[in-house]
Amino acid sequence: MARIIVITSGKGGVGKTTTSAALAMGLAQRGKRTVVIDFDVGLRNLDLIMGCERRVVYDFINVINQEANLNQALIRDKRCDHLYVLPASQTRDKDALTKEGVGRVLEELAQSYDFIVCDSPAGIEHGATMAMYYADDAIVVTNPEVSSVRDSDRMLGILSSRSRRAENSDEPVREFLLLTRYNAERVEIGEMLSVEDVQEILSLNLLGVIPESKAVLNASNSGIPVILDRESDAGQAYGDVVSRYLGEEVPHRFIHTEKKGFLSRIFRG
């Protein structure tokens, strides 16, 4: 039986799609059969970040409406055999995502995959609530910034009251914090909320910290999930996230600035 993971945040632009692409690729590289679904109907972007935008023929809505079957709509990743992408529709209305339809597709996918990664749209509207409804695990992507933290807290409230698990009084959705666009230098001089600050406010299990990194834009420019850039700080941080998600104990990195010598701290800054 597959585990369903929703990548959510409330606020837009914090790194949900980047995270979805990286996590799905990381899981697949470790031999897990993984499918990543774009729930952002009308504004699909996951295909671009995954670099498969020219191979989209059918989409999630076609499958829900039974205009195509899953095998026709799923796009197999060219870099990793275990990874498939289910793109969102660019033209349909988001109301086409019905609870029954989404449930049926997820159930069918669950037969043949280990992990189903749901890339949620921003906001708390229909698309976002559909993306999180069937989740077993939620990764709440948050920037160390007031509006993002507040929206994450709001999203946590929705998860705990309006997910399938909450409605059926099952074991609650497992929630994880992923802090992205973290700038350790600014944290050090008191210009940015620290990972401890955010954890104190949201009281969530910390899955990882992704440093603000040029590698993320470079990766999206070329349609390569940033986790494949193993030289980069962000790529390595996502690698750690995948390990931690799979239960390995990995120390957190990129939280502190590199230690400088005492003299250079005083004179140079």
Nearer to other proteins by Cβ, of 17 and 142: the residue is: 142
Quote the least distance from Cβ 157 to other proteins, whole Å: 5
Is 239 annotated to bind a ligand? Reply is no
Contacts 24+ apart (CB under 8 A), 238-241: 238/19, 238/22, 238/23, 238/26, 238/208, 238/210, 239/26, 240/208, 241/22, 241/23, 241/26, 241/178, 241/207, 241/208, 241/210
The residue within the footprint of other proteins, chosen from 79, 99, 154, 253 (CB under 8 A), is: 154
Measured CA to CA in angstroms, residue 157 lies from 5, 160, 166, 205, 228 at distances of: 17, 5, 11, 16, 34
The residue within the footprint of other proteins, chosen from 190, 247, 251, 261 (CB under 8 A), is: 190
Interface with other proteins, residue 6, by CB under 8 A: no
User: Residue with structure tokens 């309006």?
Assistant: 162
Interface with other proteins, residue 149, by CB under 8 A: yes
Beta bridge partners of 86: 37
Is 14 annotated to bind a ligand? Reply is yes
Interface with other proteins, residue 187, by CB under 8 A: yes
The span from the CA of 49 to the CA of 27, in Å, is 17
CA torsion through residues 133, 64, 88, 95, sign = negative
Interface with other proteins, residue 201, by CB under 8 A: yes
Instruction: Give CA 65 to chain center in angstroms.
Output: 26
Quote the least distance from Cβ 10 to other proteins, whole Å: 12
Task: Please count the residues of this chain forming the interface with other proteins, following the rule CB under 8 A.
Answer: 24
Interface with other proteins, residue 159, by CB under 8 A: no
Is 34 annotated to bind a ligand? Reply is no
Measured CA to CA in angstroms, residue 227 lies from 40, 48, 133, 144, 160 at distances of: 22, 15, 27, 21, 30
Contacts 24+ apart (CB under 8 A), 55-58: 56/87
User: Residue with structure tokens 């009281």?
Assistant: 203
Interface with other proteins, residue 265, by CB under 8 A: yes
Instruction: Name the one range near other proteins by CB under 8 A: 95-103, 115-123, 181-189, 220-228.
Output: 181-189
Interface with other proteins, residue 162, by CB under 8 A: no
Nearer to other proteins by Cβ, of 251 and 269: the residue is: 269
Nearer to other proteins by Cβ, of 78 and 265: the residue is: 265
DSSP assignment letter at 12: S
Interface with other proteins, residue 172, by CB under 8 A: no
Quote the least distance from Cβ 268 to other proteins, whole Å: 7
Which residues contribute to the site for other proteins (CB under 8 A)?
Answer: 145-146, 149-150, 153-154, 157, 187-194, 197, 200-202, 265-269
Cite the annotated binding site by residue number.
11-18
Which residues participate in the annotated binding site for ATP? 11-18
